[in-house]
Amino acid sequence: MEIIRQVLERTGDKWTILVVASLQDGASRYTDLQRGVPGISQRMLTLTLRQLLRDGLITRTAYAEVPPRVEYALTSLGTSLLDTMLALIDWAGTHHEEIQQNQAQFDAASSA
C-alpha cells in the first residue's frame, strides 16, 4: 500500500525512467542526457538527476578540467530498477494494440 505509493513516486514521474534508460543506453554527460531524452528541460534534468543521486540509483563524477566534465552512471541499484521497469515496458509493447482497440470500442459505445 504505502510501498506502492513510494515506488510510483520514484518511477511514475515524467522523466526518471527516460533518464535512467538513456544512461543505460550510453549517455553519461549532462549534454548527452539532454539530447538522449528529447523534450526534457534543463530544470527537470537537473532535478531528476538530483533525485536519482539521492536515491543512490546513479553516481556523479566531476572532473576538474577545463572545460568542466561531469559523468553520470547507473549504480547496480539503478540497473536493477531499469531491468524491472523493462518488464513493464515489455508488457505495454505486447498489449498496446489490444488496449487501443479497447479504447476505440469504448469510445464508440460511449458516443452511441
Binding site for DNA (CB under 7 A): 13-15, 29-32, 39-44, 46, 49-50, 60, 67-72
Give residues 55-74 in contact with a copy of itself (rule: CB under 8 A): 55-56
Q: Is the peptide bond before 38 cis (omega within 30 degrees of 0)?
A: no
Q: Which of 64, 98, 111, 112 binds a copy of itself (CB under 8 A)?
A: 98
How many Å apart are CA 17 and CA 67, to the nearest integer?
A: 29
CB nearer DNA, residue 3 or residue 66: 66
CB nearer a copy of itself, residue 39 or residue 67: 39
How many Å apart are CA 99 and CA 67, to the nearest integer?
A: 49
- Classify the C-alpha dihedral 71-75-25-46 as positive or negative: negative
